[in-house]
Structure 1
Amino acid sequence: MWQLLLSTALVLTAFSGIQAGLQKAVVILDPEWVRVLEEDNVTLRCQGTFSPEDNSTKWFHNESLILHQDANYFIKSARVNNSGMYRCKTALSTLSDPVRLDVHIGWLLLQTTNWWFQEGDPIRLRCHSWKNKAVNKVTYLQNGKGKKYFHKNSEFCIPKATHNDSGSYFCRGLIGQKNKSSASFYISIGDPTSPLSSFPPWHQITFCLLIGLLFAIDTMLYFSVQRGLQSSVADYEEPKFHWSKEPQDK
């Protein structure tokens, strides 16, 4: 068993060495909003290194391979089932980190460029309407209180986020004569000095899974050693002694 574990470790080490020499691909949204409405158009761009022999790109949606090999993946008239995690890789680039895209149904949607923010980060919010219909008298609200008002629709920008900017946000405005509101979206501001704050959520999940895997391997080794010891004890037999009588005992 130890030989198997050693072989596995050597293979993983060699594979890690090869992977370490490659650049990680990056998925970029265009436009950069991570939340869109149905019938919006979205382009996902894969930035990576290509080889002269292979300029194709592999795309994955929720870990399933997409039959599309161009560096740009265009989603025309998005639907809810286009929501999910997108990743890509090229011949000379390793698999990218996942980028999450959510597609919603409604008249208004509060859009943002990221799923998490740290103190000091800029935050861009946009009150987006279905099919880009004109929206007037737009109000951005935080925790139910008015935060910013625009007579004509405009983005709301927070230059440097603080913990006071955390909360539930939504927007409302007039589309024609109808007063419409978006669904709420919670924005959490993390502390950049926290060891885990610099990691996206999927890295934290990966870290936890790795710890769990190491614990499982350690547990397996422990019980394997225990079984080996018990087997050794079971196979051990007390030596049998044959006592002979002394002459005087005969």
Structure 2
Amino acid sequence: MSADTSKPTVSLNPPWNRILKDDTVTLICHENNSLEVNSAVWTHNNIRLEETSSRLNIVKARIQDSGEYRCQNKDSIPSEPVYLGVFAGWLLLQASAEVVTEGESFHIRCHGWRNQNVSKVTYYRNGIALKYWYDSIDMSITNVTVRDGGRYFCTGCIRRQNHTSDPLNITVKKGELAKQEEDPWREKGDRDPPPACSGCSTQQGTAVAPCESAGLRGGAGLRHRRPPHLRALMGLLARVTRAHLWDLGEDYTRYREMDARPVKLCPSIRMAIPGLISKPAAAPGGEHCHVSD
């Protein structure tokens, strides 16, 4: 059996990794099949503890009990660390997770010191009230989005006194599916779209505004905006436009001589007419002029 398959895990009961001073919590060492191990070696901040059973009980927690806990069976490697934070105060906001992915759920709880009853509870996110309950009730946030991330805290009444918890940051990460749906046409290696500009022109001098900057050749960064049916249409446009510009001949050469400024081409036109970048057009007198800026 490989080391990875025999690595144990640590769970908490109750399942909160933030507790108040004098609270009680039990850490349980599980095998990879979720069964409790027969015996375990426990460490706290890499210091070996005397406990050798599968359960480590912390009764009347102290501030110094905060830190990283690991367990290890005799035939396994140490588990991943579980962090336990012990705080002093009247109220504590507890969360089932501090980092979640879009689409998942998490729970928050307004916990009173020594499990005293908390009434008139209000939960806040980024200073805005979310929910109010006369009695202390856990709040569930399901199918989360990035907007659900932020600084959470709660207020409540203990023994007719108002108290406020310290804030807790909860981070919501984007899921892989959400990233793909956000940019479905993006191809590997594409750059971001260039900044907008005005005053772009076609070969005939017709103003086209607004459009993207002409600084990127070949329409780089725009491919991911084109669905398949549009790519086919642009390919047809490219063939027609190349043939038309090839016939301009002397008129186009004179146009370039009269206007000293380089012609700005919209990236969408560059993209549609790849021949403008590399293929020279024959000019009168045997000379060649490049149809580009």
Considering the TM-score relative to the shorter chain, is it more than 0.5? Answer: yes
Code of the aligned partner of 1:27: V
Distance 2:166 2:60 in 1: 21
Q: TM-score, normalised by structure 2?
A: 0.57
> Which AA in structure 2 matches 1:142?
R
Which residue number corresponds to residue 125 of structure 1? Answer: 108
Q: When the two structures are aligned, how many residues end up with a matched partner? A: 174
Aligned with residue 145 of structure 1, among 121, 128, 135? 128
2:19–2:94 CA contact under 8 A, matched in 1: yes
Counterparts of 1:137 and 1:150 in 2: how far apart (Å)? 6
Instruction: Show structure 1 runs of 5+ residues with no match.
Output: 1-16, 195-250
Runs of 4+ aligned residues of structure 1 deviating over 6 Å after TM superposition are: none
Asked whether the 8 Å contact 1:49–1:90 carries over to 2, the reply is no
Corresponding residue of 1:86: 69
What is the aligned partner in structure 2 of residue 106 from structure 1?
Answer: 89
Cα drift, residue 19 of structure 1 = 2.2
What's the CA shift for 1:92?
Answer: 2.7
Query: Does residue 178 of structure 1 match 2:158?
Result: no
Measured in 2, the distance between the counterparts of 1:45 and 1:174 equals 33
Summarize deviations over 1:203-244 as a string: whole Å, max 9, x none. xxxxxxxxxxxxxxxxxxxxxxxxxxxxxxxxxxxxxxxxxx
Aligned pair 1:154/2:148, yes or no?
A: no
| Structure 1 partner of 2:15 | 32
Q: 1:81 is paired with a residue of what secondary structure?
A: helix
**Cα offset, 1:120, TM superposition:** 1.4
- Alignment match, 2:59: 76
Whether contact under 8 Å (1:44, 1:74) holds in the other structure is yes
Determine the structure 1 residue equivalent to 2:119: 136
CA displacement at 1:84 relative to structure 2? 0.7
* Amino acid in the other structure paired with 1:128: H
Please provide the CA RMSD for this pair: 1.9
Measure the CA separation in 2 of the matches of 1:128 and 1:116: 20
| 1:18 CA drift (Å) | 4.8
**Aligned-partner Cα distance in 2 for 1:91–1:170:** 42
Offset at residue 114 of structure 1 (A): 2.1
Q: Aligned residue for 1:97? A: 80
**CA distance in structure 2 between the aligned counterparts of 1:49 and 1:127, rounded to whole angstroms:** 32
Q: Indicate the residue corresponding to 2:192 in structure 1.
A: none
Cα distance in structure 2, aligned partners of 1:43 and 1:114: 18
Deviation at 1:67, TM superposition (A): 1.4
Amino acid at match of 2:102: E
- 2-structure distance, mates of 1:150, 1:73: 35
Structure of greater relative contact order (alpha carbons < 8 Å, 6+ residues apart): 1
Quick check: which has more Rg, 1 or 2? 2
Matches within 5 A, 1:228-239: none
Check whether the contact 1:108–1:181 (CA below 8 A) recurs between aligned residues.
yes
Please report how far the alpha carbon of residue 160 of structure 1 lies from its aligned counterpart in structure 2 after TM superposition.
1.7
Conserved in 2, the CA contact under 8 Å of 1:166 and 1:187?
yes
2:9–2:32: 8 Å Cα contact kept in structure 1? no
Quick check: 2:29–2:55 contact (8 Å CA) kept in 1? yes
